[in-house]
Structure formats: C-alpha cells, structure tokens
C-alpha cells in the first residue's frame, strides 16, 4: 500500500490537508517517500483526565495533536519517529476500554480506541510500519522507554511516603523516572537524564538514590579501565569494552486494577486504502 500511494497526487493532497489543519504551529510533514496511511480520534490518558486527540499514522512517523475544530483545526502537534516506538496492550478498566501503551525513549502514554476492532486495526498497522522501518534500517527494537505518568486520579496520597494526602493546597508531582504521583517532600531532587531532557528533571527520592548509585558505578567502572596501550603497529587501536549499566526495575505496589478513571466516547475515522 505504501508503494502504491507514494508520490501520488491523492497522498500529497492528504498530507497537505493535515499540514493545513495544524497551520503555522505545526511542522512541515511532506517529505519524499512519506505516505499518510490512516487517521482517527483516540482517547489519550492525560495527567488530569482523558482527552480526545487526533492521530495521523504515516509510514515513518506518528503525529498527534489537540482538536480545536475536527477536520479543520488542530494544535499542540507532536511527532514520534516510529523506529522508537514499542506497543503494549493493556487490560480494560471499568471505565476505559480497548487500551494500549505507546512507549518511546522520550515519552510513553496510554491511549484507547472506541472499539476492540479499532484497537486491533491501529496496533496492526503500527506494528507493520515499525517492522518495515527496522528491517530497512537494520536497527534493533528500542529497549529503553520513558515511564508513563500515572494519572492524578489514581491516588489521593503520595505513592512514595503513603502519608501525605493531596488537596488543593498540597499539589501532586510526577517523578520523571518512575512516573509515580508524589508529594513535594518526596520529590525535591533533580537529576540530569539526557535521554529525556537537556535540563535536570524532578525525580522522587527513591529514584534519585538509584540514579546516584548508577552514576557512581559508572564512574568507578571508568576509573578501573586500564590506560590504552599504544601499539607500534600502524592503524591499530586497542578495543574499549563498553560496560552496560541496567537499572533495577522499580518494585512498587500497583494501584487496584478496578480503579475507575475514565469513560470513552470517541469516534473512529479510517485507515486509507
């Protein structure tokens, strides 16, 4: 289907229409070989509450944004390279059905479709595009993903100290490492995580200690590495074994599976064929 639609007038018109809907606030989307494969409205589980978002699936990127006027005006454009995407199907909650997670190295979030069939369509097309891209580039699937933020409504107390109760005066915060909802006292530290941001980000106290420990191990490993031996053989460079540090999974209690968060009343558009 991609080969059939590439460089066709109808594909160019569809991409131009998407660009026009985002207006000056969006980035140009028309590049050689890019094909718009599908579009539709999904419910994105945001921090405060679930919100409808428009999604556009291209053969190399996933684009989504906020709906101002459907089919006419969108804003807050986000562009996700599909090579960085991993999908995970999630169980239903009482109020939120047909859920799955879109995981990337910079941001991970949960979306839901209006029906099980629509979820299968989205996941099938996404996985096919991802497989094609990875085969084309020779890359391996991404293994490092940003933690999704747990919605505010998931808990009324800090998920670390389990003592502080949130209110209009006691704000909720999110740890950028584990995604937990935490109080200010449990998240006073900042840590630089270049994969997520060039600036230090708020993390909870537990993740801060884990990140410091990992950084210390890396520094000690670097100090233990022997000085390179300069060989007399022209063009010879001694190999440097790369040490890989893998952080331990955050073993935290999970909230009840039957927690009621959301309702889903969204409509589906279509995949282009």
Radius of gyration from C-alpha coordinates of the chain: 22
| pLDDT value for 228 | 55
User: How far is residue 157's CA from residue 171's CA, in Å, rounded to a whole number?
Assistant: 10
Query: In this structure, are residues 64 and 51 in contact, taking their beta carbons and an 8 Å threshold?
Result: no
Domain ranges for the chain, please list them.
36-143, 149-222
Find the DSSP H helices in 97-189. Answer: 116-137
- In this structure, whether the domain defined by 36-143 belongs to CATH 2.30.29.30 is answered with yes
Rounded to 5°, the CA angle 72-107-186 comes to 125
> Regarding the domain delimited by 149-222, which CATH topology (the fold level of the hierarchy) does it fall under?
Herpes Virus-1 (3.30.40)
Q: Is 68 helix (H, G, I), strand (E, B) or coil?
A: strand
User: How far is residue 43's CA from residue 270's CA, in Å, rounded to a whole number?
Assistant: 15
Q: Name the band, by pLDDT with cuts 50, 70 and 90, for residue 258.
A: very low
* Mean pLDDT, the chain, integer: 83
pLDDT one-digit tens code per residue, 76-125: 999 999 999 999 999 998 878 999 999 999 999 999 999 999 999 999 99
Decide if pLDDT at 134 tops 50.
yes
Residue with tokens 């069939």, as numbered in its chain: 117
User: How far is residue 16's CA from residue 39's CA, in Å, rounded to a whole number?
Assistant: 14
pTM comes to: 0.75
φ, ψ for residue 225 (rounded to 5)? -65, 130
User: How far is residue 110's CA from residue 97's CA, in Å, rounded to a whole number?
Assistant: 11
Least confident of 3-12, 36-45, 132-141, 246-255: 246-255
pLDDT one-digit tens code per residue, 222-255: 887 765 554 443 332 332 233 333 333 333 334 4
| pLDDT value for 262 | 36
User: How far is residue 190's CA from residue 176's CA, in Å, rounded to a whole number?
Assistant: 10
Secondary structure tally for the chain: helices H, strands E:
4, 12
CA distances from 228 to 217, 231, 234, 244 (A): 21, 9, 15, 20
């Amino acid at each position: 289907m991609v080969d059939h639609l590439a460089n066709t007038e109808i594909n160019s018109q569809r991409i131009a229409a998407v660009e026009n809907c985002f207006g000056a606030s969006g980035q140009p989307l028309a590049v050689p070989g890019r094909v718009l494969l599908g579009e539709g409205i999904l419910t994105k589980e945001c921090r405060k509450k679930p919100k409808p978002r428009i999604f556009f699936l291209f053969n190399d990127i996933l684009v989504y944004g906020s709906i101002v006027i459907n089919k006419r005006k969108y804003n807050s454009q986000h562009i996700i390279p599909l090579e960085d995407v991993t999908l995970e199907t999630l169980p239903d909650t009482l109020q939120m059905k047909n859920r799955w997670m879109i995981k990337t190295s910079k941001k991970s979030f949960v979306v839901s479709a209006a029906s099980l069939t629509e979820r299968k369509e989205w996941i099938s097309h996404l996985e096919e595009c991802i497989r094609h891209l990875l085969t084309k580039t020779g890359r391996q699937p991404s293994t490092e993903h940003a933690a999704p933020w747990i919605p505010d409504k998931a808990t009324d107390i800090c998920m670390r100290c389990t003592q502080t109760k949130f209110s209009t005066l006691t704000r909720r915060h999110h740890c950028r490492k584990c995604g937990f909802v935490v109080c200010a006292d449990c998240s006073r530290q900042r840590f630089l995580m270049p994969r997520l941001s060039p600036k230090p980000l708020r993390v909870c106290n537990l993740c801060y200690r884990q990140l410091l420990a990992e950084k210390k191990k890396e520094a000690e490993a670097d100090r233990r590495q022997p000085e390179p031996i300069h060989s007399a053989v022209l063009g010879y460079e001694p190999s440097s074994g790369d040490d890989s540090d893998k952080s331990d999974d955050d073993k935290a209690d999970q909230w009840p599976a039957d927690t009621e968060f959301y309702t889903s009343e969204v409509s589906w558009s279509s995949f282009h064929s």
